[in-house]
Amino acid sequence: MKLKLLFLTILNSLAMIASPITTMEDEFNTPTHNPGVAQSFDDSVKVRSIYNASRTLLTDLIHTKLEVSFDWSNAYLIGRETLTAKPHFYPSDSIILDAKGMEISKVSMNGIDLIYKYDDGLKLKVKLDREYTSSEEYTLIIEYVAKPNERETSGSAAILSDKGLYFINPKGEDPNVMPQIWTQGETESNSVWFPTIDAPNSKTTQELLITVKDKYVTLSNGDLISSKKQKNGLRTDHWKQDLPHAPYLFMMAVGEFSIVKDSFTKKDGSSIDVNYYVEPEYKDDARAIFGETPAMIKYFSELLDLEYPWDKYNQIVVRDYVSGAMENTGAVIFGDYVYKDSSELLDNNDQSTIAHELFHHWFGDLVTCESWANLPLNESFANYSQYLWDEFRYGADEADYQAEVEVEGYYQSAAYQGYHDLIWYDYLDKEDMFDGHSYNKGGRILHMLRAYLGDDAFFLGLNRYLTKNKFTAAEVHHLRMAFEDVSGEDLNWFFDQWFLGKGHLILFTDYELNEDGNEVILNILQRQNKEDFPVYRIPTEVAIWTEGASNADIHKITIEEVSETFSFRVSEKIVNIQIDPKQVLLAKVFEDKPAAFFRHQFYHSDKYRSRKVALERALSMHCDDPKDLVLDALDDKFWEIRASAAELALRYGLVNANAQMQNAIIDKLENDSKSQVRSAMCAAYTATDLSLDEKLQKLKQLILNDPSRMVRSNAFSSLVDLDEGAGLAIARSIQKDAGDDLLLTIAEVYSAVGEEQERLFFEDMIFNQSDKWQNEGEVRMMFYYITYTLRQDIGLRKKLPEVLNFYKKNGGSYVKMYFSRAVQYCISSLQEELSMLNSDADSDNKDVKTLEDLLLELGSITENE
């Protein structure tokens, strides 16, 4: 599953959502997570106060056949399950199934009713007709009604709800949302719509017969083996998957989707469906969104030397989805944020998420983590697949850049939520497993392991792990043993510190030369918090560049102590020394060396992160010829360095250093092929000493003509920074003919500088054109309105409760998520204003009263929530 990290992006970009999140951790005094930490009874024995074991297998599921139909108006599923199972080892005369909030009408076997107990609405306990041994299969039939909306549900930040089965707009009351049904199983929610052993270490083959009105399309796991018209305009689709998978991967979706067909040809020449299920209006965008999928299947199959194992690979986009995306076997669900037109796709695409879910079909679906504590066996690999795809498709720089974003995600998540072992046996809630450790950190750990073992051993190790454990559940030791098998090395040291330990490395280095100048001494200090984090064993490299040499000398070292010194012979003057030149360590590294060394590193390293750090450090340390350095960075082969160069030119006052610099900025602003770079140039361009008129003209041209939304929006805010009046005038002049995305930018401008008359624009956008705004766009419009309104005279705020009530009633799932934060933001802003008024003797009593009334009204909006 991929989380809706999108929200973080929105959060970051909406400055007005005053969030208390601090991103800098206290490096040397790191918080520890949760009370489950080991308690010592004596020095040698440690006992966990909490241990989340894998589910004990009393019964093995063998085959699950479901026949389902729907009562759309009540949001019920009417089901009949034919379940084949057997005792796992010990003979048994009963079976216990997870079944959440159902109405069970009958359980039978060979036509005879069985006795069952179902008093807690959670576990269905069935007494079989006799005792069975582990070599005897039995089949029972359960007739039931699933009522997902009548259960008390909960959720988490990662997966917003555990309802399992979702009826979206089932009565068609909302004309803007296509009625649909879909499911979300992970972690243990599929037992809301069929009785099963809802644990990741249980596996079963599957059949699903879905009866719906003929106008609907259905999707489930496996092959569609028949589709039969019934009486009364109904149709039954029969989906069948002959390979076993875990119950949380079962999936079903129903709606009037369009199917855009694609395919993948396996090595043996056979072909499988790779179809995209989208709402009809997105039919033409589907290939632009998902079109790389067949190439990804091919690449991952080759990399793992293991053919894609399942019958097909279909992807579907649903409304009001509760997470980012989910790797249901062969039938992956995405939230509707992936709907993007060609202009949006210029700025960003969802290939990382597509790769992530696809890679799960080996790591997660084929071999499944045996318990949620072992979730990194699913998620770290899916996370790392994003790196693998970027590396293959876009090159190492892009992959390394995205890896930096991921590692930052881990640092932030850990600083915020605390540190824990990657394989986290003592979590408090299984949903907590879906965090920056299991995903981001795990991905970086796999990258380190790959660097340590080498590509051949690493990928062969993955193949060994997958082939040895296919169609079963695994724990972290299976992974270790696969790598040990292949490499011949005992890898407990690596797994202990990275998979079974917590934290990350913080390294400080400095260097000195001996008196004769022919030996360089490198001092290395591990400065992570030693109370909670281990002293790591770190095999790595040191690169030493000497004058005149075209390549660095590479020295292999292993750091094992808190403080260590390594010395190396050098025959020429050294011009740079760098630890971890391949940039693979999960580490914050602080190298104490001269600016000239960093300058040299920028020009001579071939790794993105080395070069980025070198550029920043060289400039901050006032290296020689900073102008040339920035000019070269503006012309770098990798877009992110070019974009950073613009920001650095601005930060170090180099924008007008010479005509060359100015020309380079203008050239990149107009002609760079990456929208991120053109976008980054906007602010630097406004700082040039060209005439105000010229700058306003050029920015206006960009606002009207650049194909990228990001550039248009950034050009607009740069223009407003230059001249608020001009920005407002342009916004007003283009408002009437502006396309939808430009309207959002105009709203952003008005939120910052709009005057009283702009109220009509906002009211039109919100009340009359609300169907234009969905997801992030809808949240943005709401917050732009709020910011705008809070800037106006007190009298103009009266519309605020009406607008908020409108969003409360009509807002989509994104608004729901941000709504109370929005109201809270209004309340705290108004309270602040009120206390200022109260402390001001000259203030108008009428204003005080207006604010007090408004606060009361806003308070009642949240109360009724």
Which of residues 212 and 446 has its CB atom nearest to Zn ion in the complex? 446
Grouping H, G, I as helix, E, B as strand and the rest as coil, residue 261 is coil
Q: Give the span between the Cα atoms of 406 and 499, in whole angstroms.
A: 18
Q: Which is nearer to Zn ion, 323 or 708 (CB)?
A: 323
Minimum distance, C-beta of residue 364 to Zn ion, in the bound complex (Å): 7
| Shortest Cβ 2–Zn ion spacing (Å) | 5
| Cα angle 854, 856, 858; round to 5 | 70
Q: Is the Cβ–Cβ distance between 344 and 707 less than 8 Å?
A: no
* Least spacing, CB of residue 375 vs Zn ion, in Å: 9
Q: How far is the CB of 439 from Zn ion (least distance, A)?
A: 7
Can you read off the two tokens belonging to residue 622?
């006032």
Closer to Zn ion by Cβ: residue 101 or 376: 376
Task: Residue 421: name the closest of 397, 409, 438 by CA.
Answer: 438
- Would you say 369 or 460 has its CB closer to Zn ion? 369
Alpha-carbon distance 117 to 208, whole Å? 26
When asked if residue 1 is in the footprint of Zn ion (CB under 5 A), the reply is: yes
Report, in Å, the least distance between residue 813 CB and Zn ion.
20
Nearer to Zn ion, 1 or 297 (CB): 1
Q: Among 256, 252, 258, which residue's Cα sits nearest to residue 275?
A: 258
- DSSP-assigned beta bridge partners for residue 332: 315
The CA distance from 615 to 599, in Å, is: 7
* Smallest distance from Zn ion to CB 352, Å: 11
Residue 862, classified by CB atoms within 10 Å of its CB into exposed (0-12), middle (13-18) or buried (19+), is middle
> Rounded to whole angstroms, how far apart are CA atoms 678 and 94?
67
How many residues form the binding site for Zn ion (CB under 5 A)? 4
User: In the complex, what is the shortest distance from the CB of residue 434 to Zn ion, in angstroms, rounded to a whole number?
Assistant: 8
Residues in Cβ contact with 710 at an 8 Å cutoff, skipping those fewer than 6 apart: 346, 347, 675, 676, 679
Q: Give the shortest CB-325-to-Zn ion separation in angstroms.
A: 8
Strands (E), 362-435: 367-369
Alpha-carbon distance values, 450 to 376, 462, 585, 628 (Å): 16, 10, 11, 37
Structure tokens at 686: 């406004």
Please report how close the Cβ of residue 636 comes to Zn ion at its closest, in angstroms. Answer: 33
**Phi/psi class of residue 9: alpha, beta or left (left: φ > 0; alpha: ψ in -120 to 50)?**
alpha
DSSP strand pairing (314-318 vs 331-335): parallel
Q: How far is the CB of 5 from Zn ion (least distance, A)?
A: 11
Q: Cβ of residue 323: shortest distance to Zn ion, in angstroms?
A: 9
Closest listed residue to residue 384, CA positions, set 302, 452, 482, 300? 300
Tell me whether residue 382 or residue 422 sits nearer to Zn ion (CB atom).
Answer: 382
Binders in 564-603 for Zn ion, by CB under 5 A: none
Which residue, 5 or 650, is less far from Zn ion as judged by CB? 5
How many Å apart are CA 205 and CA 582, to the nearest integer?
A: 44
Residues contacting 711, CB < 8 A, separation 6+: 675, 678, 679, 682, 702
Q: Which is nearer to Zn ion, 334 or 511 (CB)?
A: 334
Is residue 3 a contact residue for Zn ion (CB under 5 A)?
no
Nearer to Zn ion, 356 or 612 (CB): 356
Of the candidates 513, 689, 502, 702, the one whose C-alpha atom is nearest the C-alpha of residue 593 is 513
CB of 94 to Zn ion, least distance (A): 35
Q: Where are the beta strands (DSSP E) in 135-261?
A: 138-146, 165-168, 180-183, 204-213, 217-220, 223-229, 234-245, 252-255, 258-260
Q: Are 98 and 195 in contact (CB under 8 A)?
A: yes
Task: Check: CB of residue 337 under 8 Å from CB of residue 776.
Answer: yes
Site for Zn ion in 376-415 (CB under 5 A): 379, 382
Binding-site string for Zn ion from residue 623 to residue 652, where x marks contact by CB under 5 A and - marks none: ------------------------------
**C-beta nearest to Zn ion: residue:** 382
User: Should residue 246 be labelled a site residue for Zn ion when binding is judged by CB under 5 A?
Assistant: no
Closest separation in Å from C-beta 3 to Zn ion: 8
In the complex with Zn ion, the residue whose CB is nearer, 2 or 502, is 2
Residue number, 2 or 599, with CB nearest to Zn ion: 2
x-or-dash string of contact with Zn ion, 322-361, rule CB under 5 A: ----------------------------------------
Residue number with CB closer to Zn ion (276 or 381): 381
DSSP type of residue 419: B
Q: Which is nearer to Zn ion, 282 or 424 (CB)?
A: 424
Site string for Zn ion, 363-382 (x = CB under 5 A): ----------------x--x
Binding positions for Zn ion, rule: CB under 5 A? 1-2, 379, 382
